[in-house]
Amino acid sequence: MKRELFELYDNDIFELKSKVTGISQEGDFLLVALDKTPFRASSGGQPADKGTLENNNFKGFVEELIEDRDEVLHKVRVEKGALKQGDSVTAKIDAERRRKLKQMHSGEHLFFGALKRIMAEHNESIDVEKIRLEQEESVFFVKTKNLNWDMLFKAEALANKIIKEGREVKVCYAKPEEIDAFIEKGLRIKKDRIKDEFVRVLDFKDLDVSACTGTHVKNTKEIVAFIVTDFKNLGNEKFEIRFKTGENAEKEVSDFSREFRRIKAISAKEKHEVFDFVRKQIFDKEALKEKYYAYLSEFVLSLKPENINGISFYSHSFEHDEQKVLVKCASKLCIEKAIVCFLNKRDDKKEKNGKAESKEEGIELLLLTSKDLHVNLLKFFNEEILKLCSGKGGGNAYFVNAILYCKEQELELLMQKIRVLVENMENAQS
């Protein structure tokens, strides 16, 4: 990317009078080249700018930027008028979107620098693998042996302290041959990615120095606030960290605080007791769920089949039971010369504004057969069952899982049809 483009970004040039130097059609879009542009293409995990190109006779929305050698092509969705080579236009980016992405990108650098310092206190190293920046919530992926919420909270507190301090964020340009000296001072860079005749260096004083092509704030106060919104261990020493900055981060802190206070009040626990209390409720619920799964499995597997012409026919109606347990157990019953038909009542009623909305209750149909019977259940479902009642589902010759909406008498007819299928198995061969 040309250095003069970075200088436009760093000086917050959001609007330029430009001339169309090239134009072509790509599907429903125009690909427009300009003699100068404030638009930034996607790089370094930061998405491309969006905005408009317009003049008295034309208006189009820039949806994407494409770098073609030394040229930036604007992918434009036309709203009105026409555009041709030589036309003058005003190129204007979405300044608010750029502001939020600057907060996100600078917040990521600041937080990672803080996290790296906290990790060093625990004799742990950490590296950024990739980042993905968005306006509302962003994410970055790190590689380290050990990471936990306590470390994240400490890094978050340090980052917010520096945000309030209002430290200057500096940008400078280094020649490739100068990079080794910068690395000795702590520069984060992947040397194999150097493509230009210069390296753009971002410096958060005494915290983080890194090579970066993104747009950034000039002072940490512009970030406003930083909060980690989620954290996952992905395995293989890789972790995902989600975060918010700016006014969104402040709102997130307020929202979390409000919900925490509600939990504290309803649990009648002290502040330091709430986490252990909630964790115990979750563990107890999971333990209860496992007991329920075990009981349901034992019950289903103990069902006695009806013998119809040498075929074991298992049928039973359930109410709001766990479908994945029913599927697993039904598969175990369908070993040899067997058909399973389970009906599981579902509660499809939903609440709106605190009031239950009336909605037809659905029945989950689970139909399985052992492969030695060679009956085509999916064909039977489409040609016979869907004639009786409305619904949708899918599967294959040996397995059908569907949601049906039918009345009591239609259910009785459905079971009769399935029984006839079993009784006339010789005539139901595919």
Same domain, 108 and 207: yes
Given a cut of 50, whether residue 372 has pLDDT beyond it is yes
C-alpha–C-alpha distance, residues 162 and 169, integer Å:
11
Residue 426: predicted pLDDT? 52
CB–CB of 99/107 below 8 Å? no
pLDDT at 353 > cutoff 80: no
Q: On the CB side of 342, how many CA atoms lie within 13 Å of its CA?
A: 30
Q: Tokens representing 51? A: 């905005």
Specify whether 323 is located in the same domain as 373.
Answer: yes
- Confidence at 1, pLDDT banded by 50, 70, 90: low
The answer, yes or no, to whether residue 197 has pLDDT greater than 80, is no
Containing structural domain, residue 166: 99-267
The pLDDT of 245-264, averaged and rounded, is 95
Q: Do 249 and 313 belong to one domain?
A: no
Q: What is the mean pLDDT of residues 63-75?
A: 86
Let me know: does 347 contact 390? Beta carbons within 8 Å.
Answer: no
Mean pLDDT confidence for 323-338: 93
Final residue before a domain boundary, out of 56, 73, 93: 93
CA distances from 356 to 360, 362, 405 (A): 12, 16, 19
Q: Are residues 136 and 212 in the same domain?
A: yes
**Looking at the structure, do residues 54 and 149 belong to the same domain, yes or no?**
no
Whether the per-residue pLDDT at 378 is higher than 80: the answer is yes
pLDDT for 2 equals 67
Instruction: Say which residue the tokens 């030695």 belong to.
Output: 372
pLDDT on residue 354: 47
Same-domain check for residues 351 and 390:
yes
* Last-in-domain residue among 267, 294, 320: 267
What domain count does the chain have? 4
Q: State residue 421's pLDDT score.
A: 87
Residues 252 and 211 in one domain: yes
pLDDT of residue 360: 53
Please name the residues in contact with 176: beta carbons below 8 A apart, sequence gap of 6 or more: 194, 197, 198, 199
| Euclidean distance between CA atoms 216 and 48, whole angstroms | 14
Over the chain, what is the mean pLDDT?
89
Q: Which are the contacts of 358, defined by CB distance < 8 A and separation ≥ 6? A: 349
- Residue 6's pLDDT is 77
* Residues 126, 211 share a domain: yes
Judgement on whether residues 26 and 49 belong to the same structural domain of the protein? yes
Give the lowest-confidence range in 84-88, 315-319, 394-398, 412-416.
412-416
Q: Which of 92-101, 181-190, 378-387 has the highest average model confidence (pLDDT)?
A: 92-101
Single out the residue in 240, 267, 294 at which a domain terminates.
267
Task: Give the count of beta carbons closer than 10 Å to the beta carbon of residue 91.
Answer: 23
| Angle at CA of residue 64, ends 62 and 69, nearest 5° | 115
| pTM score | 0.73
Q: Are residues 298 and 394 in the same domain?
A: no
Of residues 89, 85, 84, the one with CA closest to residue 37: 89
What value, to the nearest 5°, has the Cα angle with vertex 2 and ends 102 and 52? 55
The enclosing domain of 326 has a CATH number of 3.10.310.40
Question: Token pair 């502040």 is at which residue?
Answer: 271
Residue 348: closest CA among 335, 357, 340 = 357
Tell me how far apart the alpha carbons of residues 121 and 98 are, in angstroms, rounded to a whole number: 35
Q: Which residue has the tokens 């960290």?
A: 241
Q: Check whether 176 has a pLDDT greater than 80.
A: no
The CATH number of the domain holding residue 187 is: 3.30.980.10
Partners of 54 in the beta sheet?
59, 90
57 and 41 both lie in a single domain: yes
Beta bridge partners of 294: none
Q: Tell me what the mean pLDDT of segment 87-114 comes to.
A: 96
pLDDT at 331: 94
Are 245 and 129 found together in one domain?
A: yes
Per-residue three-class SS string for 28-46: CEEEEEECCCCCCCCECCE
**What is the maximum span of the chain, computed from C-alpha positions, in angstroms?**
86
The closest alpha carbon to 390, from 362, 416, 413, belongs to: 362
User: What is the 3 state secondary structure string of 227-238?
Assistant: EEEEEEEEECCE
Check which CATH number belongs to the domain holding 60 and give it: 2.40.30.130
Q: How far apart are CA 36 and CA 20, in angstroms?
A: 9
